[in-house]
Amino acid sequence: MRRGLMLWREQELSATDVLSRQQRLEAAMKAAGLDAFLVYTNHVRSAGVTYLTGFTPYWSDALLLIVPGKSPLLSTALSKRVGNWIRSVNPTSEVAHSPKPGRLVGERLAAAGCRRIGVLELDRLPAGLAEEIASVSDVEFVDASAVFADVRATADRAELDLVFRAEALAREALQAVDPNQERAGEAVSLLERVAREAGAEECYVAVAPDLEKDSRLGRLGNVPLGRLFAVRLSLAYNGVWIRLTKTFSRDAAVREQVQKLEEAFAEMAPELDLSGPLGPQLLKMADVSAWRLEVPSGTLPLAETANEREDVGTRASYGNLSAAFLLGGATVLLGGPVGHRFSRPATEAAA
């Protein structure tokens, strides 16, 4: 369940922005010979619907149906009691309620004469919903994850601006952490408060409490913090997820070294070529011992696509990189959004 404020922010992601995504998908559907496109969503796999509507469902099951030339249909088993709120944060789609949302989708497909239906992540479409659809329409389901991936790989200006906004929000929150703090619980509660007050829909904090002993990050209790520790903030803003990792030290000399490494990372981040091996690119900055790249993928807001063991390129305009660098015998954890194809807004670049 998302606990933060969810609004339709037309100035940040407009209905025109969302419609252009739907139109790109419709063009790809036509090229693939698909009559319609179906996206299933639940509370952990909502990213596909979010990308195509600008709205993040946070309940169990729903289906988004895209038929060229028609308004998208979001079919849900939720009662009409929450319908007005859903419409207020999802103005580009028709919202329909039914105890059998699959049957409702099937009826729409039959009425439109759609036969060949592309499905995002077909293997994850619940059998019960597929049977409801097939009970009222004669359709052929086709896995169209690759079709969606081609569309999703092209980021638009609005999406990247949201990435920059989420990153700035996370940086603001992490700046509130005191490197001399004694216990992790204090840092975690402070981060969550600052992030949510700034507009984050959701956030999760992981801590490596003593990098001199262990560099693994985890969602820990109020454990003591060592002289060198790291915090990772995973944050959602307007449907976009980013991860930002920062290392803190009580030693002023070490803090200065870490800051120089952070500056090198910030300079490198927009220039990273995600389509090729990342290891050689990271080694130009510092000695890297481990890393992983996560990008938006299908119904997931972030999915790991490469790491130091499997250094393969990915078709994405941006991602989130988490890396462990060796600095004078110590491990330093850094991370954040990388590989943006568009330059940052002037206000963000100055910050």
Could you tell me if 300 and 321 are in contact, meaning their C-beta atoms sit under 8 angstroms apart? no
Mean pLDDT of 51-59: 85
**Last residue of one domain, picked from the residues 152, 178, 206:** 152
State the pLDDT confidence band at 341, using cuts at 50, 70 and 90: low
Output the domain CATH number for residue 251: 3.90.230.10
Distance CA(59)–CA(44), nearest Å, equals: 9
Residues 296, 168 share a domain: yes
State the pLDDT confidence band at 215, using cuts at 50, 70 and 90: very high
Distance CA(167)–CA(174), nearest Å, equals: 11
CA distances for 294 relative to 73, 155, 236, 237, 316, angstroms: 30, 15, 15, 17, 10
Letter for the amino acid at 312? V
Does residue 3 lie within any of the structural domains? no
Does residue 285 lie within any of the structural domains? yes
Distance CA(193)–CA(183), nearest Å, equals: 17
pLDDT, mean over the chain: 90
Does residue 2 lie within any of the structural domains? no
Residues 138, 26 share a domain: yes
Does residue 232 lie within any of the structural domains? yes
pLDDT at residue number 236: 92
Structural domains in the chain (count):
2
Q: For residue 70, give its domain range.
A: 15-152
pLDDT at residue number 278: 94
Residues 273, 196 share a domain: yes
pLDDT at residue number 84: 74
pLDDT at residue number 43: 81
Does residue 4 lie within any of the structural domains? no
Residues 211, 92 share a domain: no
pLDDT at residue number 350: 39
Output the domain CATH number for residue 71: 3.40.350.10
| Three-class secondary structure of residue 252 per DSSP | helix
How many C-beta neighbours within 10 Å does residue 258 have? 24
pLDDT of residue 347 exceeding 50, the answer is no
Task: Average the pLDDT over each of 168-177, 218-227, 235-244, 336-345 and give the range with the smallest value.
Answer: 336-345
Does residue 296 lie within any of the structural domains? yes
Residues 317, 171 share a domain: yes
State the pLDDT confidence band at 317, using cuts at 50, 70 and 90: confident
Distance CA(204)–CA(124), nearest Å, equals: 26
Does residue 9 lie within any of the structural domains? no
Residues 192, 141 share a domain: no
pLDDT of residue 32 exceeding 60, the answer is yes
pLDDT at residue number 8: 77
Mean pLDDT of 133-158: 94
Mean pLDDT of 287-310: 95
pLDDT at residue number 81: 65
Residues 162, 120 share a domain: no
Residues 162, 217 share a domain: yes
Beta strand 94-97 with 73-76: parallel, antiparallel or unpaired? Answer: parallel
**Last residue of one domain, picked from the residues 152, 187, 203:** 152
Residues 181, 128 share a domain: no
pLDDT at residue number 329: 81
Mean pLDDT of 25-49: 94
pLDDT digits (tens, 9 = 90+) for 8-24: 788 888 999 999 999 99
Residues 198, 309 share a domain: yes
Residues 172, 115 share a domain: no
- What is the tally of helices (H) and strands (E) in the chain? 11, 13
CA distances for 100 relative to 48, 105, 318, angstroms: 21, 9, 37
Distance CA(46)–CA(298), nearest Å, equals: 9
**Last residue of one domain, picked from the residues 117, 132, 152:** 152
pLDDT of residue 223 exceeding 80, the answer is yes
Does residue 288 lie within any of the structural domains? yes
pLDDT of residue 334 exceeding 90, the answer is yes
State the pLDDT confidence band at 99, using cuts at 50, 70 and 90: confident
State the pLDDT confidence band at 342, using cuts at 50, 70 and 90: low
| Sign of the CA dihedral with 244 first, then 249, 252, and 257 last | negative
Mean pLDDT of 95-115: 94
State the pLDDT confidence band at 351, using cuts at 50, 70 and 90: very low
pLDDT at residue number 321: 97
Mean pLDDT of 81-95: 79
Q: Which residues pair with 301 in a beta bridge?
A: none
Residues 173, 147 share a domain: no
